[in-house]
Amino acid sequence: MNISGVSIHFVLAVSVLVLSACTVGPDYVRPTPVATMPPAYKELDGWKVAQPGDGAAPEEWWKIYQDTGLNSLAGQVAISNLTVAAAEAQFRQARALVLEAKAGYYPTVSLGASASRSQRSGNLGTGTGNGTTTSDFLLPLDATWELDLWGKISRSVEASQAGVQAGAADLAAVTLSIQAELVTDYFLVRTLDAQKQLLDATTAVYRKALDLTNNRYAAGVAAKSDVLLAETQFKSTQAQAIDLGVQRAQLEHAIALLIGKPAADFSLPTIPLSLAAVPPPVPVGVPSELLERRPDIAGAERRAAAANAQIGVTEAAWYPTVKLSAAGGFESSSFSKWLSWPSRLWAVGPAVSETVFDGGLRRAQNEQVRAAYDGTVAAYRRTVLTGFKEVEDNLAALRILEEEARVQDEAVKAAEQSVTIVRNQYRAGTASYLSVIVIQAAELANERTAIDILGRRMAASVLLVKALGGGWVAKEPVPSPL
């Protein structure tokens, strides 16, 4: 047989098959995120937004708070946080799956060697050679190549590439979430420090009031009940200051975990949150921009793309599988002649197989992946709606808390004036000490509420930045490994 002639016909046949290949399954079209895209956020009305020139939040978005201590902590999340490290490992797994899928484009080649010595039975009665001992030395090279005629492999690669892009977005979402948690905890610590500062200052005032009341009691001017009331007020306020230490320690330990450090090796200096602090303006933009600014939305959309590609993979199972096989090597019964030219062997040829009956397996698999795609589309749309909700929630929180802070400041000023008046009345003998205790308690409660509102405003600001995607912006699809 003319080997070169066989090779030419073989190459021509393969070329015809490849050129006639087609990719089955639906081409991906990004799902509509919502029925109607709102032109603006409802809760934005009445809230001070960033200037147009401010643009989007920076990549290191926590720097908008201009806190050097916070900057050093938040920057460690992407490097040291173990949850981020786990998400990064999952992303690398997704990249490896792309390489695994792309391996289907190429033939599988295997090389082996074997040597055996055998003896045929002398009682077979089949002619010469019975009862003789023979040797067989074999060095085969086998190649098998499945042609991607129906796009099964290319759809698998498409699904894996979308999985890589989803993994990159998931990694960004996890990093953003933990950064926001750290920043929130940091401001909670500073709020507790401000509460502690207030309680310590108030305790000092109450200590002086107790001393004064004791002196008045010794002079016969005040009653014993006044002394007991003053002592009760002093001790209860002191206990409140001590109690804050529990929550502060727990928050400090939580921050240590977020930056990947043992709690025993980490501590935060006491830095009270200034009552003059206000949340910085955050670039909000319009709802349509949220699709490009939130990594969880981008990840959900990429998972829908991967699920769509899987439909093509299952539909390719309805078509025949065409494989090309080739084998070559050397075989001899003599070791000395094993690699000689007359010992060569080769074989080449195609194989076609088609499943004619599977009891409805392929139909069921197709229905399953189509249902899975519908589920990812629903999840994508739910993620978009959740994003809108979170932005609206925190816009409303910032707007309402700003108004509440203004009213609470007026309440604090009124309480301070009331304390001054009642103290004077007590000194003049026109008011009881119980009246002083009551109005001082009201003053302390209002001052603590003012600090609490400021802390909630800072937390709402952080959550708004997170709801807007932080400094993340959807870029070109993540390049797949070659």
> pLDDT tens digit string along 164-196?
999 999 999 999 999 999 999 999 999 999 999
User: Do 131 and 121 contact (CB within 8 A), yes or no?
Assistant: yes
What does pLDDT average to over the chain?
89
Cα separation of 462 and 343, whole Å? 76
144: closest CA among 18, 348, 324?
Answer: 324
- Fold entry, domain 27-104+163-321+361-467: Outer membrane efflux proteins (OEP) (1.20.1600)
The answer to whether residues 270 and 248 touch, using CB atoms and an 8 Å cutoff, is: no
Name the 3-class secondary structure at 391.
Answer: helix
The total number of residues shown for the chain amounts to 482
How confident is the model over 387-435, as pLDDT tens digits?
Answer: 999 999 999 999 999 999 999 999 999 999 999 999 999 888 888 899 9
- Number of CB atoms found within 10 A of residue 99's CB: 13
Kindly state the tokens that stand for 254.
């939580």
CA angle 127, 132, 136 (to 5 degrees): 110
Q: Considering only CA atoms, which of 464, 370, 436 is closest in space to residue 205?
A: 436
| Structure confidence by residue, pLDDT tens digits, 104-161 | 999 999 999 999 988 877 776 555 556 678 888 999 999 999 999 999 999 999 999 9
Q: Which residues pair with 332 in a beta bridge?
A: 137
DSSP 8-class letter at 430: S
- Look at 258-272, 292-306, 427-441 and tell me which has the smallest mean pLDDT: 427-441
Round to whole Å and give the CA distance between 230 and 212.
10
- Map residue 136 onto helix, strand or coil: strand
Give the residue from 167, 185, 313 showing the smallest Cα distance to 253. 185
Q: Which residues contact residue 30 at a Cβ distance below 8 angstroms, ignoring those fewer than 6 apart?
A: 301, 304, 305
Q: How many CB atoms lie within 10 A of CB 435?
A: 15
Token pair of 451 as six digits: 């600090």
Q: Is 223 exposed, middle or buried (0-12, 13-18, 19+ CB in 10 A)?
A: middle
Could you tell me the pLDDT band of residue 471, with boundaries at 50, 70 and 90? Answer: confident
pLDDT at site 153: 92
High-pLDDT (> 70) share of the chain, % = 90
Which one has a higher pLDDT value, 15 or 131?
131
Q: The tokens 């949340």 sit on which residue?
A: 279
Long-range contacts of 434-437 (CB under 8 A, 24+ apart): 434/229, 436/209, 437/229, 437/230, 437/232, 437/233
The residues, ordered by sequence, that sit 6+ positions from 152 with a Cβ below 8 Å of its Cβ are 104, 312, 313, 316, 317
CA distance 362 to 356: 11
For the chain, the structural domain boundaries read 27-104+163-321+361-467
What interhelical angle do 152-218 and 224-258 show, nearest 10?
Answer: 160
Residues 6 or more apart whose Cβ sits within 8 Å of residue 89: none
| Interatomic CA distance for residues 464 and 482, integer angstroms | 39
Give residue 441's pLDDT. Answer: 95
Say whether 277 sits in a helix, a strand or coil.
Answer: coil
pLDDT number for residue 463: 96
The CA-CA-CA angle for residues 297, 302, 304, to 5°, reads 100
Enclosing H/E stretch for 317: none
- Identity of the amino acid at 78: A
Q: What is the pLDDT of residue 45?
A: 74
421-422-424-425 Cα dihedral, nearest 10 degrees = 120
Name residue 465's amino acid. V
Q: What is the pLDDT of residue 12?
A: 47
Closest alpha carbon to 332 in 348, 346, 344, 320 = 344
To the question of pTM greater than 0.85 for the whole model, the response is yes
Q: How far apart are CA 187 and CA 454, in angstroms?
A: 10
pLDDT at 5: 46
Please write the tens of the pLDDT for every residue from 264-288: 999 999 999 988 888 988 888 889 8
Dihedral sign for Cα 255, 258, 263, 268, please. Answer: negative
Higher-confidence residue: 479 or 211? 211
What angle, 0 to 180 degrees and rounded to 10, lies between the N-to-C axes of helices 152-218 and 82-102? 180
pLDDT score of 281: 87
